[in-house]
Amino acid sequence: MKKIEVEKVNKWYDLHHDPMLEKRYLTLEDIHPLLTELGSQFSVHKIGESFEQRNIYELVFGTGPRTILLWTQMHGNESTGTRAFFDLIKFISQPKDHKWLADHILKECTVHCIPMLNPDGANAFTRINAQGIDLNRDVIDKKAPESALLQDVLKRVNPLYCFNLHDQRTIFSVGAGNETATMSFLAPSIDQKRTLTEGRKDTMKVIASIHNLLLDVIPGKMGRYTDEFYPKATGDNFQKMGHKTILIESGHSKGDYKRTVSRRTTFLALLEGLRFIGDEQAQIDHKKYFDIPNNEKKYLDIIVQNSLIDGAKKDIGILFLEKLENGNIIFVPSINQISDLSELSADKIIDAKGLEFANENDVEKWVKNRFN
């Protein structure tokens, strides 16, 4: 089976990705026109409604024996996976010199996608749905209609693999140099013991293949998310049910607050994941999954060094909170920690040059005035 030539696919991406999807605030109204303009190899239909009665759709492509379920924007304010998914759809529609790859996926896989599971949260730019429920912790109770809908689709489709797409915060880092984690991956556990089942091993193989593909694209900027078992988490429970679940976390790159880099790498990750799953001859050691370094929380948006607070020398660590204001996302500075931050890294590091504060309340006032 041929392998993906990343340089050539990147050239396709430069020419054909949709610039209208560059914004972080992505709602049902934004993607609805894309759902109505699909080619004949795709089918799309309404499968239900959100709590506030917004439509939820399922998009299907391919006729292959390996059935895959993919969903995006389970958290409404995490849109990178949705944008990358529509890049994938465009690639399948217009592969140009990569027709072999599109044909392979269509022949070997049947992909079912819910491209926006939480349209109410997307509209409000919130993690939760309109009931205040985190859909990623509602797999047991199913109090949200969106959660029940996802499991209805799961039962109907009975997928061999699932792709669970999320965004992760700026704070996540990778490796000794504390590089920002542009991408992170997880093969969820099925129990507290983190038992290494054959299903988890297969999940790890897919992730290891994706990691290999991206090594030259974002070297040193991929992490492995904690595999601590969460009894109420969607991925952990789907994995436990026997559906091999791949968690993809699209993260930050230095200065890239639109997440254009992780949108591209998430697109590449989906493309390679489907290629690998569709190739019954593909082989990779699941242990290579453990070559991916663990995520740490050692990256911030801003570090202000060498300030004096009540006479003591301390650093100020700042993270941006994303808020919706008049239809636009604004970044509000928030103090994450005040201490010796010499082991952390950030997008911007500022030397305070002996700036003095009487107390931490004064620091908070200064941060709001300085960075708003």
Task: Report, as an integer, the average pLDDT of 30-39.
Answer: 94
List the domain range (segments joined by +) for residue 179. 6-296
Pair (93, 136) in one structural domain: yes
pLDDT digits (tens, 9 = 90+) for 291-321: 999 999 999 999 999 999 998 999 999 999 9
Pair (225, 361) in one structural domain: no
Look at residues 296, 322, 351 and tell me which one is the last residue of a structural domain: 296
Structural domain count, the chain:
2
Residue 245 lies in a domain: yes
Task: Give yes or no for residue 354 having a pLDDT over 90.
Answer: no
pLDDT band at 139 (very low <50, low <70, confident <90, very high): very high
The CATH number covering residue 258 comes to 3.40.630.10
The CATH number covering residue 310 comes to 2.30.40
Task: Give yes or no for residue 229 having a pLDDT over 90.
Answer: yes
Q: What is the pLDDT of residue 353?
A: 80
CA distance 178 to 200: 28
> Strand runs (DSSP E) across 200-269, as ranges?
222-224, 244-250
pLDDT digits (tens, 9 = 90+) for 183-228: 999 999 999 999 999 999 999 999 999 999 999 999 999 999 999 9
Q: What is the pLDDT of residue 4?
A: 97
Residue 1 lies in a domain: no
> Strand runs (DSSP E) across the chain, as ranges?
42-49, 55-61, 66-71, 109-114, 161-167, 173-174, 179-180, 183-186, 222-224, 244-250, 295-296, 299-309, 312-325, 328-339, 345-351, 356-357
pTM of the entire predicted model: 0.97
Q: Choose the weakest-confidence range: 61-70, 204-213, 355-364.
A: 355-364
pLDDT digits (tens, 9 = 90+) for 241-269: 999 999 999 999 999 999 999 999 999 99
Pair (304, 259) in one structural domain: no
Pair (94, 108) in one structural domain: yes
Pair (316, 270) in one structural domain: no
Q: What is the pLDDT of residue 110?
A: 98
Look at residues 271, 296, 321 and tell me which one is the last residue of a structural domain: 296
Pair (207, 271) in one structural domain: yes
